[in-house]
């Protein structure tokens, strides 16, 4: 990680999607370091699709972190979301003189063009890279929190059909640590891969995650199974070079124990 240019300096940091899973955790970390943090989202009056409240939120900001997500994952909706919101945001950042745009994308995004969601994330990455604002892209593997959604998307009756490829999921706390650190560093004008500390087989991890939730569905490992509209070759969802990736420290077992201990809302 490059040395922080913000060490000892309080800066204004706007988090687009700051009310979401990753955004709220990044906001906690940066606020704890004393920075002026704006958690921006439609719920706080900032909408990057319509532009509402964006210029006002960005006034005086040094860094913008985009951890927003599309409310609809339909192919056309998600592409329209990331293209329009990224264009609007980058234009507003340029006007406001923002010095660092941080986006969160997905490890392997460019390898899976049959997935509409991955195509939308690649479109977001390309806009960010082609823009005028210095940037960093954090490519993350799948969050532990995403396991049930993956299973739901692959369920037929009581059977969940999951590819057998390697899988290295990560805790959202580890993602938030990495995103906060990147946001306080020099723009990479490139990307960094982050991943969890342990490698699983994808189907075995989903079986473990469902069992830990007391979910009785049967997971079947199938190399031909589709993952959100795409076939997976082994290695496409894990960092190409794990030694160059930033690895989180939270194991699935520790994460699951913390979930079980946490009060339910």
Ligand X SMILES: NC(=O)c1ccc[n+]([C@@H]2O[C@H](COP(=O)([O-])OP(=O)(O)OC[C@H]3O[C@@H](n4cnc5c(N)ncnc54)[C@H](OP(=O)(O)O)[C@@H]3O)[C@@H](O)[C@H]2O)c1
Positions that interact with ligand X (CB under 6 A): 16-17, 19-23, 41-43, 46-49, 67-69, 71, 85, 104, 106, 121, 140, 142-143, 146
Contacts (Cβ under 8 Å, ≥6 apart) of 132: 90, 94
> How far apart (Å, rounded) are the C-alpha atoms in residues 85 and 79?
10
Q: Which two tokens stand for residue 15?
A: 């988090």
- The distance from CA 223 to its chain's CA centroid, rounded to whole angstroms, is 25
Q: Which of 6, 144 has the CB closer to ligand X?
A: 144
Given the DSSP bridges, would you call strands 159-162 and 155-156 parallel, antiparallel or unpaired? antiparallel
> How far apart (Å, rounded) are the C-alpha atoms in residues 255 and 260?
9
Shortest separation between residue 105's beta carbon and ligand X, angstroms = 6
Shortest separation between residue 43's beta carbon and ligand X, angstroms = 3
Q: Which of 41, 12, 47 is nearest to 24 (CA)?
A: 41
Three-class DSSP category at 156: strand
Q: Which of 11, 38 has the CB closer to ligand X?
A: 38
Shortest separation between residue 11's beta carbon and ligand X, angstroms = 21
Shortest separation between residue 211's beta carbon and ligand X, angstroms = 20
Evaluate whether 72 touches 78 at the Cβ level (below 8 Å): yes
Q: Which of 21, 123 has the CB closer to ligand X?
A: 21
Three-class DSSP category at 2: coil
**How many Cα atoms sit within 13 Å of 157 on the Cβ side?**
3
Q: Which of 5, 94 has the CB closer to ligand X?
A: 94
Evaluate whether 216 touches 158 at the Cβ level (below 8 Å): yes
Q: Which of 138, 207 has the CB closer to ligand X?
A: 138
Q: Which of 5, 83 has the CB closer to ligand X?
A: 83
Closest-approach residue to ligand X (CB): 20
Evaluate whether 133 touches 101 at the Cβ level (below 8 Å): yes
Shortest separation between residue 42's beta carbon and ligand X, angstroms = 4
Shortest separation between residue 122's beta carbon and ligand X, angstroms = 11
């Amino acid at each position: 990680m490059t040395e922080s240019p913000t060490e000892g300096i309080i800066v204004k940091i706007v988090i687009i999607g700051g009310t979401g899973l990753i955004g709220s955790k990044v906001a906690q970390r940066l606020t704890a370091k004393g920075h002026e943090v704006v958690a921006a989202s439609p719920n706080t009056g900032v909408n990057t699709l319509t532009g509402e409240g964006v210029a006002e939120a960005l006034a005086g900001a040094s860094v913008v972190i985009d951890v927003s997500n599309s409310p609809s994952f339909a192919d056309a909706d998600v592409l329209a979301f990331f293209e329009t919101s990224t264009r609007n945001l980058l234009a507003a950042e340029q006007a406001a003189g923002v010095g660092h745009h941080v986006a969160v994308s997905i490890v392997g995004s460019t390898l899976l063009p049959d997935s509409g969601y991955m195509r939308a994330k690649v479109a977001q990455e390309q806009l960010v890279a082609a823009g005028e604002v210095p940037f960093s892209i954090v490519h993350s593997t799948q969050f532990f929190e995403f396991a049930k959604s993956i299973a739901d998307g692959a369920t037929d009756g009581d059977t969940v059909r999951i590819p057998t490829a390697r899988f290295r999921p990560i805790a959202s706390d580890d993602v938030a640590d990495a995103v906060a650190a990147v946001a306080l560093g020099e723009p990479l004008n490139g990307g960094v891969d982050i991943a969890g500390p342990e490698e699983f087989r994808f189907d075995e991890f989903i079986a473990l995650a469902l069992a830990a939730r007391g979910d009785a569905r049967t997971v079947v490992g199938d190399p031909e199974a589709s993952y959100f509209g795409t076939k997976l070759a082994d290695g496409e969802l894990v960092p190409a070079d794990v030694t160059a990736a930033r690895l989180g420290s939270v194991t699935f077992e520790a994460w699951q124990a913390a979930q079980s201990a946490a009060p339910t809302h």
